[in-house]
Amino acid sequence: MSGDAYAHAGLELDDRIVREVLTHGQVEVDGRVLPASNVTLVGEAELDGVRLRCVYKPVRGERPLWDFPSGTLAAREVAAYEISELAGWHVVPVTVLAEGPFGTGMLQQWIEVGDDVAVDLVPEGEVPDGWRHVLDAFDGNDQPVSLAHAETPGLRALTVFDAVVNNADRKAGHVLVSAGSRVRGCDHGLTFHTDDKLRTVLWGWAGEQLDDSDLTSLGALDWAFDDGATRDRLRALLDAPELARLRQRVQRLIRTRRFPQPPESWRSIPWPVF
Ligand SMILES: Nc1ncnc2c1ncn2[C@@H]1O[C@H](COP(=O)(O)OP(=O)(O)O)[C@@H](O)[C@H]1O
Ligand SMILES: [Mg+2]
């Protein structure tokens, strides 16, 4: 059964197997995601008869940016996955660095999304019960709208994750909701900068207290950085100042016990939000 059919049947492969297939499998590209800021390809990876759908972003296809060093976005995506796993959040699809038909790149498990959304623009004042209001604005047709997001444990974990990895690009379209309302994020190339750059649609908890489960994940992460093998693995993906700042952000969250607040000094909401 192909990975696609497998996911459609509501089945999920073990992450270790997904990692093996993405790392050592044969990748065939059959499409490109548009619009996308980088060369973002989709296809299938196959290893010993196990096929699964994946995203493939070759390093060569990365668009140069003024604020991130060239050729580093794929490694940042892999580091983001590693951090999500170390903290126990599991909010990033399995992501590895591997070889594809256009050279080294990041390969990521494709997530089949359903009809549920976790972030939305709604008519102003009509934020659904159990959702968090982020801001009011005018949409492309000059209609007053509110930006809001769901209030689920998965989205909360993704929000703390973004603060940790310093995600500069959490658009609504980068929040994937799959079967069983499971929330995961994608597009983590603009992360781990040493300057604070958190730019996100997920400000619904801004300034509020972190709870015990948030602090447990952050504590586990802080602890994980003491492990030499973990540090070496991350050091292969990020430079030393980036790793040092990463740990400082984790420790700052543990100390303040609060979600960050949107800053005055930089644009903290991606617009358009999708
Ligand atoms: N692993 C994934 N599973 C499902 N959909 C994905 C995945 N990765 C990306 N997408 C979809 O493809 C779009 C473009 O991918 P993205 O990672 O944002 O590329 P870019 O870096 O070019 O902006 C996303 O907004 C999302 O809708
Ligand atoms: Mg994107």
Residue 3 Cβ contacting ligand 1 at under 6 Å:
no
Residue 189 Cβ contacting ligand 1 at under 6 Å:
yes
Mutation to probe ligand 1, out of 40, 53, 274 (largest number of atoms < 8 A from CB): 40
Helix (H, G, I), strand (E, B) or coil at 201: coil
pLDDT at 1: 61
Ligand 1 atom nearest the C-alpha of 73 is: 21
As a whole number of angstroms, the distance between CA 222 and CA 228 comes to: 13
> Which residues does the chain have with pLDDT short of 70?
1-4
Domain interval for residue 41? 3-109
Same domain assignment for residues 250 and 182: yes
Same domain assignment for residues 87 and 145: no
pLDDT at 263: 85
The CATH number for 91's domain is 3.30.200
Same domain assignment for residues 167 and 250: yes
Residue 111 Cβ contacting ligand 1 at under 6 Å:
yes
Q: State in Å: Cα 36 to ligand 2 middle.
A: 6
Residue 236 Cβ contacting ligand 1 at under 6 Å:
no
Q: State in Å: Cα 186 to ligand 1 middle.
A: 6
Residue 272: inside a domain: no
pLDDT at 11: 76
Mutation to probe ligand 1, out of 12, 33, 175 (largest number of atoms < 8 A from CB): 33
Same domain assignment for residues 249 and 126: yes
Same domain assignment for residues 151 and 131: yes
pTM of the model: 0.96
pLDDT at 37: 81
Between strands 131-138 and 144-150, the pairing is antiparallel
Instruction: Point out the domain boundary residue: 76, 109, 142.
Output: 109
Residue 58 Cβ contacting ligand 1 at under 6 Å:
no
Same domain assignment for residues 248 and 205: yes
Instruction: Point out the domain boundary residue: 46, 75, 109.
Output: 109
Same domain assignment for residues 96 and 128: no
pLDDT at 223: 97
Contacts 24+ apart (CB under 8 A), 25-29: 25/50, 27/54, 27/56, 27/98, 27/99, 27/100, 27/101, 27/107, 28/101, 29/56, 29/100, 29/101, 29/102
Residue 265: inside a domain: no
Same domain assignment for residues 101 and 168: no
**Ligand with the closest atom to the CA of 40:** 1
pLDDT at 58: 98
Same domain assignment for residues 135 and 231: yes
Number of domains in the chain: 2
pLDDT at 2: 67
pLDDT digits (tens, 9 = 90+) for 13-46: 999 999 999 999 999 999 999 887 889 999 999 9
For ligand 1, atom 8: residue with the closest CA? 186
Residue 114: inside a domain: no
Same domain assignment for residues 27 and 132: no
